[in-house]
Structures are given as C-alpha cells and as structure tokens.
Amino acid sequence: MESAVLLDVQGLRKSFPRPDGGELLVLDDVNLRVADGEIVGLLGRSGSGKSTLLRLIAGLSRPAGGAVSYLGKRVEGPPPGVAIVFQSFALFPWLTVLQNVEIGLEALGLPAAAIRQRALAAIDLIGLDGFESAYPRELSGGMRQRVGFARALVVHPNILLLDEPFSALDVLTAETVRTDFLDLWQEGKLPIKGVVLVTHNIEEAVQMCDRVLLFSTNPGRIIGEIVIDLPQPRDRLDPMFTALVDRIYVAMT
Ligand code: ADP
Ligand code: MG
C-alpha cells in the first residue's frame, strides 16, 4: 500500500515586483508531494526560490497561482500541522530557551501546565536539557539552532520544513546537529511524519533524504528527481554515496 500523502503542492507560481517596475518570476509551476515517512530534499542554488517556496507551503505568503493541499485538503494561510526551522534561527534574544520554545505553542490555546510540559519535553529531546533558562546570546550556534528545532517540534507538526537549518553553522557543528536529528528521526522519536529539507549542499541532501528534487534558478522549477536508495546510516566513503553526489552535481551544472 502507498503511504498517505501529507503534502501536495501543485502548480505553484510566485513573482515579486522588481525595482524597475517589472516582475521577477521566482517560482514557476512547482509540484511536489511528501508522503508519510519521507524526508524530501529540495536542492538548489542561492536565490533559486527555495525559501520563497517554503514560505508559501507554511502559509506565510500567498502564491500567484497553484495550490497547497495538506492531508488531502486545500489550505490557504498557515496550516496547523506545519512548522518551519529557519536558516538564521530567528530566536527572540530577550527570551530564554524555554520561553522561545513555548512561543511555538502560543497559537494552540493549551493550558499553561501542558505548554510547560510539551516545551520541556522538546528541549530534552533535542539535547538542551539544563539550558532552559539560558538566553540565546549565552549559547553556541549549534545550540541556538537546537532551540529552533525544539520550537518547531513542540507543536508536533505533521510536516517539518527545514530551510537550510545547518548552513549558518561551522562544518563540524553542522555535522553533529544533523546526525543527532537524523538519529532521532530513524529511531522514530520525533513527533513528525515528514520533512522537506531545503539545502544547497549536495552531500547533506544525499545524507539525509529519501528523494532529492533538483531545483533550477530563474525561475525556480523542479528539473529532476533522484531517489536515494541507500540504507541509513549513510557512509560518505561508500562508492554508492559518492556516485550519487557526482550524479546530482552533473545534473545541476
Ligand atoms: P533561496 O532561498 O533559494 O536562496 P529566495 O527564495 O530567498 O531564494 O529568493 C528567490 C528570489 O526572490 C531572489 O532573487 C530574491 O531576491 C527574491 N525575493 C525573495 N523574497 C523577496 C521579496 N519579499 N521581495 C522581492 N524579492 C524577493
Ligand atoms: Mg533561502
């Protein structure tokens, strides 16, 4: 039996006004589906419209055409089962770790005790136990992004949208946060059903994803798909791994 489709994006278009009065077509006829249990990668260059696409899926901006369906129902505006992790963390500097995570639950109207319990569980899950009352400035970049993950996971979203969540981190820290996330996903410990990972990093896409969609620039359009049928955990020295990286590199250049 096929897994349930969580997210179905059809024919999305988006343009922005240009300073010269013209229009910049950023997304043209973008189609994608995410099924239960999948991590789907969206690989494209800087400026190809990846963040724009995630903002449309998250309901933070409106498309010029096309539709987003979530669990079979067309949605306009922010769908309740979708959360996003931003490249730049987007934490509130004047709030503690706990408060930053609790903010994620504000819209759900839960009782205070339930909010506290859910937030503490998310913080613990993502490896920040003991840092609940720290402020973002007191944390390393990797820990700040863990707060970003906790704030998104705390709502128990069906779909987690990851907008280059590791690209502001140094290579070693990125590797640690990425591996910890992947381990939790593999062990079934994350309160989510599917992931869209936006990245410009081919190795990261091959490491993390079940399928990688290749995204063109000007306008952003999906120009191919590569299924990553390697078992987890993935060994970067495995010739199959490097062959997939090469294949994607060639397809993108
Ligand atoms: P990516 O995330 O792939 O780097 P973005 O989605 O951020 O790309 O941007 C795609 C293109 O759309 C870029 O040319 C960017 O300058 C433009 N763009 C994004 N947001 C806006 C906006 N709010 N107003 C005008 N142009 C925008
Ligand atoms: Mg971006």
Q: Which tens digit of pLDDT belongs to each residue from 46-85?
A: 999 999 999 999 999 999 999 999 999 998 888 888 999 9
Integer Cα distance of 131 and 161 in angstroms = 25
Ligand 1 probe mutation, 12, 13, 15, 16, most atoms within 8 A of CB: 16
pLDDT of residue 98: 98
CA of 169 to the centre of ligand 1 (A): 21
Q: Is 110 in a helix, a strand, or coil?
A: coil
pLDDT of residue 160: 98
Integer Cα distance of 82 and 150 in angstroms = 14
- Interface pTM, i.e. ipTM: 0.98
Check residue 96 and give left, alpha or beta (phi > 0: left; psi -120 to 50: alpha). Answer: beta
Tell me what percent of the residues of the chain surpass a pLDDT of 90: 92
Instruction: Judge whether residue 2 has pLDDT over 70.
Output: no
pLDDT of residue 1: 55
Q: How far is CA 138 from CA 131, 132, 133, 142, 143, in A?
A: 10, 11, 10, 12, 9
Ligand 1 probe mutation, 30, 52, 62, 87, most atoms within 8 A of CB: 52
Q: Which pLDDT band holds residue 232 (cuts at 50, 70, 90)?
A: very high
Integer Cα distance of 16 and 14 in angstroms = 7
pLDDT of residue 74: 93
Task: Provide the CA 165 distance to its chain's centre, in angstroms.
Answer: 7
* 51 CB near ligand 1 (under 6 Å): yes
With contact defined as beta carbons under 8 Å apart, do 54 and 161 qualify? yes
pLDDT of residue 179: 96
Q: Which tens digit of pLDDT belongs to each residue from 157-176?
A: 999 999 999 999 999 999 99
Instruction: Judge whether residue 241 has pLDDT over 60.
Output: yes
Q: Which pLDDT band holds residue 212 (cuts at 50, 70, 90)?
A: very high
Which atom of ligand 1 is found nearest the CA of 44? 3
Which atom of ligand 1 is found nearest the CA of 53? 6
Ligand 1 probe mutation, 15, 25, 26, most atoms within 8 A of CB: 26
Average of per-residue pLDDT across 9-16: 96
Residue 213's H or E segment, with its range, is strand 211-215
Average of per-residue pLDDT across 23-38: 96
Paired strand residues for 143:
none
Question: Tokens 């997210």, residue?
Answer: 7
CA of 53 to the centre of ligand 2 (A): 9
Integer Cα distance of 85 and 161 in angstroms = 6
Task: Provide the CA 214 distance to its chain's centre, in angstroms.
Answer: 16
Integer Cα distance of 185 and 181 in angstroms = 6
Residues 6+ apart with CB under 8 A from 117: none
Q: Which tens digit of pLDDT belongs to each residue from 94-117?
A: 999 999 999 989 888 899 999 999
Average of per-residue pLDDT across 186-208: 97
Closest CA to 69 of 34, 41, 42, 39: 34
Ligand nearest to the CA of 55: 1
Which atom of ligand 1 is found nearest the CA of 215? 3
* 46 CB near ligand 1 (under 6 Å): yes
Amino acid making up residue 65: G
First vs last C-alpha separation in the chain: 37
Q: Which tens digit of pLDDT belongs to each residue from 132-154?
A: 999 999 999 999 999 999 999 99
pLDDT of residue 172: 97
Closest CA to 148 of 188, 59, 88, 93: 88
